[in-house]
Amino acid sequence: MNENNIKVFAPATVANVVCGFDVLGFAVNEPGDEVVMRMTGKPGITISKITGDNGRLPMDPAKNTVSVSVQHYLKSIGRNDIGLDIELHKKMPIGSGLGSSSASTVAGLFAIKTLLGDETDVASLLPFAMKGEEMACGHGHADNVAPALMGGFVLIRSYEPLDVVRLPHPEGLYCAIIFPDVDVPTREARQIIRKNIQMKDAVTQWGNIAGLVSGLFLNDIDLIGRSMKDILVEPVRSMLIPDFYKMREIAMEMGAVSFGISGSGPSVFAFTRDEDTAHRLTQKLQQHLTGIKIGSNIYVSTINDKGPRAIG
Which residues are catalytic, by number?
A: 133, 186
Report the nearest approach of ligand HSE to the CB of residue 235 (Å): 14
Q: What is the DSSP string of 141-153?
A: --TTHHHHHH-SE
Which residue's CB is nearer to ligand HSE, number 186 or number 296? 186
The C-alpha atoms of residue 180 and residue 159 are separated, in whole angstroms, by 31
Would you say 36 and 87 are in contact if contact means Cβ atoms under 8 Å apart?
Answer: yes
Which residue's CB is nearer to ligand HSE, number 60 or number 181? 181
Question: How many beta carbons lie within 10 A of that of residue 218, not counting itself?
Answer: 12
Reference 25, options 149, 108, 117, 191; nearest CA is 149
Q: Is the dihedral of CA 239, 240, 242, 247 positive or negative?
A: negative
Reference 103, options 25, 32, 28, 29; nearest CA is 32
Contact footprint for ligand HSE (CB under 6 A): 15-16, 21-22, 97, 99, 141, 143-144, 186, 189-190, 263-264
Which residue's CB is nearer to ligand HSE, number 151 or number 260? 260
Report the nearest approach of ligand HSE to the CB of residue 142 (Å): 9
> At residue 285, what are phi and psi to the nearest 5 degrees?
-70, -35
Would you say 93 and 139 are in contact if contact means Cβ atoms under 8 Å apart?
Answer: no
Report the nearest approach of ligand HSE to the CB of residue 18 (Å): 11
The C-alpha atoms of residue 101 and residue 272 are separated, in whole angstroms, by 26
The C-alpha atoms of residue 106 and residue 179 are separated, in whole angstroms, by 21
Report the nearest approach of ligand HSE to the CB of residue 147 (Å): 11
Report the nearest approach of ligand HSE to the CB of residue 85 (Å): 29
Report the nearest approach of ligand HSE to the CB of residue 217 (Å): 22
The b-or-e profile of 140-167 (16+ CB within 10 A means b, else e) is bbbbbbbbbbbbbbbbbeeeeeeebeee
> At residue 31, what are phi and psi to the nearest 5 degrees?
-80, -165
Which residue's CB is nearer to ligand HSE, number 215 or number 263? 263
The C-alpha atoms of residue 312 and residue 304 are separated, in whole angstroms, by 19
Which residue's CB is nearer to ligand HSE, number 85 or number 133? 133
Which residue's CB is nearer to ligand HSE, number 105 or number 277? 105
